[in-house]
């Protein structure tokens, strides 16, 4: 299951583990990313809490947790090469994985069709 | 995530090059009341690198182009700034600073003596304040201050700028850094200065507004030239160690603190006939309490304006500009720190989101200037 937030995070859910990244729209708006700060493994995140920071040549931007959960894994390849966000935001440029604390929270997020429609309104 | 969202573009003034930007897929943002491109299709990093290797065309029409005419304009202007203007010879450019009565920096500017007037280029954000300041304080009152809002200004910057421009304006090859002259560029009457804000060789071209777009298209048709947005303009000037008004220089700082003492011309040091001269001359001789310095950071995390600088646990200063240097592939910043922490090589820490990043005071420019002298 793939869902999206209005803040341009994507969340891919497999069982009770979700992988989170930012969308192609977000990486284009940010421009060249030069540094990424990811949350520590084991950290409990509330929904909408600050989870990661993306520094582009333009500015620093926060990435929020789309839903609540505990960080189980972070993308070390992304820390080593932050340009993966620009080149592959939906695949190898993922940010972190969460063990979901309340899968029902996913219901409030958009599916691909809804997100695509939302982008057209921006 | 929080994507930087632009304020409304609708209220912004369009420069004469607006349609060129849109045609070239410029991402338009509000900037000091003007709609200007922060970058084009390739992005800031690619534009930055292109300018360092080839030639970039920048729309800087938001900046204020002003002429002063009337007998004694040079004497009058000298009363407002610490530069040698009376002795400035025709078609030479001087970098200078408008100062308030305490010696604080109201703006930085370029002054060129032309045959019939003084030609000033001031920062866009404070141009109307500068014009009001001059109208209020230039003595005698017969000096005419003219805002050239019927002209666009573009900058062509980079190691291949001269090659490209010489095809359209052969006379430009006779200029050296900080010289200027009237000449036709692709048939258009322009005022061309060999100067810029990137640390590279290059030119600034003042052109009548109605001919600006045509001229820009002709420049962009040269193989060395691509259009470059505000984002790369900022990272280029940061690498070049050039201060940005409103950030690295403000009325809070005087020229000594801002490490711009070179702008206090030799003759003016003895005359003291400029605003804040007593304080500035005292600091020039005895040192200023704080100083604008360059910082290179370990790692890859940039620091931004407002970040606090520490020596151990002691706060000693504040970052005024920061970013990632595409040329050096490391973060760099400008900051004001206390004098005892300003020596090159001093190890400092910068706090970002509760963590401290290691930084070393480093000479500026971070990337060597390549002016044509």
Measure CB to CB from residue B3 to each of A30, A32, A55 and give the nearest one: A30
Kindly list the residues from chain A whose CB atom is less than 8 angstroms away from the CB atom of residue B48.
57
Kindly list the residues from chain B whose CB atom is less than 8 angstroms away from the CB atom of residue A9.
1
pLDDT values of chain B reduced to their tens digit, one per residue, 373 residues:
676 655 678 889 999 999 999 999 999 999 999 999 999 999 999 999 999 999 999 999 999 999 999 999 999 999 999 999 999 999 999 999 999 999 999 999 999 999 999 999 999 999 999 999 999 999 988 999 999 999 999 999 999 999 999 999 999 999 999 999 999 999 999 999 999 999 999 999 999 999 999 999 999 999 999 999 999 999 999 999 999 999 999 999 999 999 999 999 999 998 889 999 999 999 999 999 999 999 999 999 999 999 999 999 999 999 999 999 999 999 999 999 999 999 999 999 999 988 999 999 999 999 999 999 9
**Largest CA-CA distance found in chain B, in angstroms, rounded:** 62
The pair of three-digit structure tokens given for residue B184, joined into one six-digit string:
């036709």
First vs last C-alpha separation in chain B: 48
The per-residue pLDDT for B4 is 60
> Cβ of A31 and B302 within 8 Å?
no
Residue B249 bridge partners (DSSP): B245
Q: How far out from the chain centre does Cα B224 lie?
A: 23
Residue A119, chain B, CB below 8 Å: the answer is no
The pair of three-digit structure tokens given for residue A28, joined into one six-digit string:
């284009």
**Largest CA-CA distance found in chain A, in angstroms, rounded:** 37
Q: How far apart are CA B72 and CA B350, in angstroms?
A: 49
Give the nearest chain A residue to B5 (CA atoms): A29
Do the beta carbons of residue B276 and residue B102 sit within 8 Å?
A: yes
The per-residue pLDDT for B6 is 52
Residue A26, chain B, CB below 8 Å: the answer is yes
The pair of three-digit structure tokens given for residue A88, joined into one six-digit string:
């592959």
Classified by CATH at the fold level, domain A2-102+109-116 comes out as OB fold (Dihydrolipoamide Acetyltransferase, E2P) (2.40.50)
Question: Reduced to 3 states, what is the DSSP secondary structure of residue A44?
Answer: strand
The pair of three-digit structure tokens given for residue B142, joined into one six-digit string:
């017969």
Q: Determine which helix (DSSP H) or strand (DSSP E) holds B239, and give its type and residue range.
A: helix B230-239
Question: In this structure, how many other beta carbons lie within 10 angstroms of the beta carbon of residue A79?
Answer: 15
Q: How far apart are CA A115 and CA B142, in angstroms?
A: 64
The pair of three-digit structure tokens given for residue B12, joined into one six-digit string:
């912004």
Residue A64, chain B, CB below 8 Å: the answer is yes
The per-residue pLDDT for A14 is 96
Kindly list the residues from chain B whose CB atom is less than 8 angstroms away from the CB atom of residue A58.
4, 38, 44, 231
Structural domains in chain B, CATH included, are 13-55+150-239 (3.30.1360.120), 289-367+369-373 (2.40.30.110)
The per-residue pLDDT for B14 is 96
> Cβ of B231 and A58 within 8 Å?
yes
Q: Is B301 left (phi over 0), alpha (psi -120 to 50) or beta?
A: beta
Q: Is A81 exposed, middle or buried (0-12, 13-18, 19+ CB in 10 A)?
A: middle
Strands, DSSP E only, in B219-329? 225-227, 290-297, 308-311, 314-325
The full DSSP string for B58-97 is EE-TTSEEEEEESTTHHHHHHTTSSS--TTPPTTBEEEEE
Work out the mean pLDDT of chain A and round it to a whole number.
Answer: 95
The per-residue pLDDT for B221 is 98
Kindly list the residues from chain B whose CB atom is less than 8 angstroms away from the CB atom of residue A55.
301-302, 324
pLDDT digits (tens, 9 = 90+) for A73-109: 999 999 999 999 999 999 999 999 999 999 999 999 9
- Give me the total of CB pairs closer than 8 Å, taking one residue from chain A and one from chain B: 64
Query: A111 to chain B, minimum CA–CA distance in Å?
Result: 17
Query: B241 to chain A, minimum CA–CA distance in Å?
Result: 17
Q: How far apart are CA A122 and CA B134, in angstroms?
A: 44
The per-residue pLDDT for A58 is 81
Residue B361 bridge partners (DSSP): B295
The per-residue pLDDT for B2 is 72
Do the beta carbons of residue B179 and residue B192 sit within 8 Å?
A: no
Half-sphere exposure of A65 (CA within 13 A, CB side): 24
Measure CB to CB from residue A55 to each of B44, B48, B302 and give the nearest one: B302
Question: In this structure, how many other beta carbons lie within 10 angstroms of the beta carbon of residue A17?
Answer: 14
Q: Which residue is associated with the tokens 């620091």?
A: B303
Q: How far apart are CA B63 and CA B161, in angstroms?
A: 21
Do the beta carbons of residue B240 and residue B64 sit within 8 Å?
A: no
| Strand A69-74 with A96-100, pairing | antiparallel
C-alpha distances in Å from residue B193, one per residue of A122, B9, B158, B165, B178: 42, 31, 14, 12, 7
> Cβ of A62 and B1 within 8 Å?
yes
């Amino acid at each position: 299951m793939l869902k999206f937030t209005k803040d341009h995070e994507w969340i891919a859910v497999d069982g009770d583990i979700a992988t989170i990244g930012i969308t192609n729209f977000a990486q284009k708006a940010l421009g060249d990313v030069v540094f990424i700060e990811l949350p520590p493994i084991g950290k409990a995140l509330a929904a909408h809490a600050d989870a990661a920071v993306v520094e582009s040549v333009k500015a620093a931007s926060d990435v929020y947790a789309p839903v609540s959960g505990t960080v189980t894994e972070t993308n070390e390849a992304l820390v080593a090469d932050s340009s993966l966000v620009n080149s592959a935001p939906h695949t190898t440029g993922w940010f972190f994985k969460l063990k979901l604390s309340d899968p029902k929270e996913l219901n409030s997020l958009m599916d691909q069709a809804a997100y695509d429609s939302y982008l057209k309104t921006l | 995530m929080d994507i930087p969202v632009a304020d409304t573009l609708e209220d912004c003034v369009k420069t004469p090059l607006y349609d060129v930007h849109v045609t070239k897929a410029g991402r338009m943002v509000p900037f000091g009341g003007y709609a200007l491109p922060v970058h084009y299709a390739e992005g800031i990093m690619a534009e930055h690198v292109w300018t360092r290797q080839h030639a970039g065309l920048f729309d800087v029409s938001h900046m204020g182009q002003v002429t002063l005419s009337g007998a004694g304009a040079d004497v009058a202007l000298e009363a407002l700034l610490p530069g040698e203007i009376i002795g400035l010879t025709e078609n030479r450019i001087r970098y200078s600073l408008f100062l308030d009565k305490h010696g604080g920096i109201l703006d930085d500017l370029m002054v060129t003596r032309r045959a019939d007037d003084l030609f000033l280029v001031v920062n866009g954000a404070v141009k109307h304040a500068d014009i009001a300041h001059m109208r209020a304080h230039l003595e005698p009152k017969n000096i005419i201050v003219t805002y050239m809002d019927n002209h666009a200004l573009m900058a062509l910057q980079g190691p291949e700028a001269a090659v490209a421009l010489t095809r359209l304006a052969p006379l430009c090859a006779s200029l050296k850094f900080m010289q200027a002259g009237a000449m036709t560029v692709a048939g258009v009457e322009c005022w061309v200065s060999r100067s810029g804000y990137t640390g590279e060789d290059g030119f600034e071209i003042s052109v009548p507004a109605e001919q600006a777009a045509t001229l820009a298209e002709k420049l962009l048709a040269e193989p060395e030239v691509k259009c470059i947005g505000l984002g790369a303009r900022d990272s280029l000037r940061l690498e070049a160690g050039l201060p940005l008004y409103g950030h690295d220089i403000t009325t809070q700082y005087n020229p000594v603190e801002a490490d711009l003492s070179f702008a206090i011309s030799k003759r003016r040091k003895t005359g003291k006939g400029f605003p804040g001269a007593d304080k500035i001359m005292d600091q020039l001789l005895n040192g200023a309490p704080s100083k604008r310095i360059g910082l290179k950071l370990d790692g890859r995390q940039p620091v931004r304006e407002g970040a606090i600088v520490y020596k151990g646990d002691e706060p000693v200063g504040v970052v005024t500009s920061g970013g990632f240097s595409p040329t050096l592939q490391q973060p760099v910043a400008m900051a004001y720190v206390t004098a005892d922490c300003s020596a090159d090589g001093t190890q400092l820490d910068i706090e970002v989101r509760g963590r401290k990043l290691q930084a070393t005071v480093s000479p500026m420019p971070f990337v060597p200037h390549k002016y044509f002298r």
